[in-house]
Chain A
Amino acid sequence: QVQLVQSGAEVKKPGASVKVSCKASGYTFTSYYMHWVRQAPGQGLEWMGIINPSSGTTSYAQKFQGRVTMTRDTSTSTVYMELSSLRSEDTAVYYCARVRDTIMANDAFDIWGQGTMVTVSS
């Protein structure tokens, strides 16, 4: 079945970096754009950026420009999101989410990873 499986919870100190993985299965990895969305405790959903798994091309939310890097490994059907210079406000659940339509970069998100909790605390 189509699924996205993310890496486990992380605890980081302020100023550190975190790298979250998202492994896709059950579909052609390179045919669907992948987005990253985060959710702080008790808060709403915040878009972070997008990667084209075929070309590796990325686009990031302005808020995260310079701190976020999204990459992919086509040999393992995995996308990665690395966030640097972590601060307490980055404490959140981070989700990868696949677009519904193969030709659309910006579309509804039909498949989500289970989420990765990242806690930033000294």
Chain B
Amino acid sequence: DIQMTQSPSSLSASVGDRVTITCRASQSISKYLNWYQQKPGKAPKLLIYAASSLQSGVPSKFSGSGSGTDFTLTISSLQPEDFATYYCQQSYSTPPTFGQGTKLEIK
């Protein structure tokens, strides 16, 4: 199975900040990398697919980049509704696997 490792595991930031979350795959996954946002008590929400494609309806403040083994999710101009847990997921091979999550908290 492909292991996905996110860093950091938690992150404190202020409203208006720009933050970056990193996801590393244990082997090359080309661009088969997706990002999700999850708020407490809710299902995950797809933000970015194929490493850098913005899911319909998701604000352009979210952006993704990377290929191979290293990927990033960047969120610009943080707003209160952006504080949540973010997960990466590889869809290169079965089983699909998730990172352990990055909890973004208000400073």
Contacts and interface: CB of A to CB of B under 8 A. Distances in A.
Nearest to A114: B43
B70 to A, nearest CB: 19
Nearest to B87: A45
A115 B46 contact: no
Given A108-B34, A108-B49, A47 B97 contact: yes
Interface stretch (B11-19, B71-79, B88-96): B88-96
A60 to B, nearest CB: 9
B100 interface: yes
Interface of B is mostly: loop
Contacts of B8: none
B44 to A, nearest CB: 6
A108 B43 contact: no
B83 interface: no
B43 A112 contact: yes
Given A100-B49, A106-B93, A47 B98 contact: yes
Given A45-B44, A61-B95, 19 more contacts: A44-B98, A44-B100, A45-B87, A46-B98, A47-B96, A59-B94, A95-B44, A97-B44, A100-B46, A100-B49, A100-B55, A106-B32, A106-B93, A106-B96, A107-B49, A108-B46, A109-B44, A110-B49, A112-B44
Interface of A: 35, 44-47, 50, 59, 61-62, 95, 97, 100, 104-110, 112-115
Interface of B: 32, 34, 36, 43-46, 49-50, 55, 87, 89, 91-101
